[in-house]
Structures are given as structure tokens and as C-alpha cells.
Structure 1
């Protein structure tokens, strides 16, 4: 072997080693990016769940306030002042309920359109979704705005 062949062989080996190192670094980086994406998706799931639960908690809290107010003012329940106060609280309750149902419907939309994993949410929300539709059935008439909730509920109940 002459000197040029040795140099070419060494250069080829060095080049191959550099390519292997580059491929390994790229794989490690892609693995980290993939983990970051998965973690980000998990955080999105937690944020959605947190927001949904927060809205449900506000709804329950206001319902308890209305019941307490009515109990505290039971002797004057027919007075205009009490009726007006209860009506205002009920209006606020209905607004919170619509916000909650909108959030739940948005969650259902994301699941139906494969933007969130069906399996991640079905176990936890299958019964809750069905219960909410039964509890607030007046909001789920044929012309409902919450069609995604109905559609996902039908899918989940048939599985």
C-alpha cells in the first residue's frame, strides 16, 4: 500500500466515524424532542382537565350559594327583593353552566378530531360525559350547540 491509499483509508474511516457520531447525536436530539412533545401533550391534557374541573367547581359553588341564600331567606322567599336576587344568581349560574358545557364540548371536539387521544380521556370521562348530558338534558335538545358532546357520548357508550 502506498501512502495515498493509507491516507484515503484513514480519511474514509474518520469520515465514517464522524457520520456515525452525527447520526447518534441526531438520534439523541430527536429522542429529546419526541419526549418534549409527549410531555407537552401531557401538560395540555392536564390543563384541559384542570380547566374543566375548575369550571365545574365554580358551578357547584354557585349552586350551593343559591341554595344557602334561599334557605337563609325562606321566610321572605316571595318578596320581590329575594326573587330578584335569586333570579340574578340563577342567570349567573346559567352563564357558568354554558361556559362549562362549552369547555366540555371543546374537549369532545378535540377528541373526535384526533387532536387528543381518545384512550386518555375515555376511561376518566365516559361516565361523566353521560351523566352531564342526563343532568342537563334541557341543553341537549335536537338543535343543541353541544353536538360534539352528544356525538362522543354515543361513540363511547357503544364501546
Structure 2
């Protein structure tokens, strides 16, 4: 497992496979920042709420010069269904092999109902236009989170 990324670190240089079957390089070289939010699973209650919240605020993030991408280990097909079913406006990236989760240190041991397993720790990374991680949210509570990330940009 990789060491968790913290504010001040350079964003790992990676290629994301997007839900529209294109690829996106991070950090971006287009002069824009990016909000990367990692979530456990498509079409689950918390992940749906979080994705809808970021979708609703997408225009506000874009006005601030930031793009938003959701990342999980679900397949491209799963992402497409999720986007269509929930009418999401944000793009989703598929990390089926777990390399992006590893690079950001969000693939962690979790415990639920007395069982231990590996999974994605719900986390968000704010990366400025220069490719530096400026803010990190770990063990995110969904309610109000997208708004808190936007508020950080407004501060």
C-alpha cells in the first residue's frame, strides 16, 4: 500500500479511464484544477448522494476553474448505467485494477459487521492547476461534503 497523499504533495501522474471510454491525464495540463473524489460503489445510497451533490454543484466548481471526477473500482459499463440512472453530470473514472486507489492511498483495510476486508476509503483530493494537492478529506461523511469542498475554493 502507498503512503496516503497529504496537502502539499504533488498529485500522482496517472491516466484515468473515463466512463465515455476516453482517457484523462492527471494532473491536468490545461491550467485547471481538479476535484478527485473516491467512492466505494456505484448505485449505493451514500455514493449516489455524493455523486448527485457534486453533479448539482458542477457549474460552481467549473466557474472556479476546477473539474470534478468521481473514481471507483467499478467497470466502465457500471459507471455508464450509474450516470444514466442517476442523471449525473460529472464524469466517472474506472480503476478496475486499483492502481489509482493505490497511488492515492485510499485502498485500505476496512471493518464492517465484524469482518475485515479491503475497500476504498471515501476520500476527496483537491488538486490545484499546478498539480499540487492542496486539500485532502478522508473518511468523508457524505452529507454536506460537496458543499464543504466548494466552500474551500471560495475561501
What TM-score does the superposition give when structure 2 sets the normalisation length? 0.23
Higher helix share: 1
Higher RCO (Cα < 8 Å, 6 or more apart): 2
Higher strand share: 2
What TM-score does the superposition give when structure 1 sets the normalisation length? 0.23
Tell which structure's C-alpha radius of gyration is larger. Answer: 1
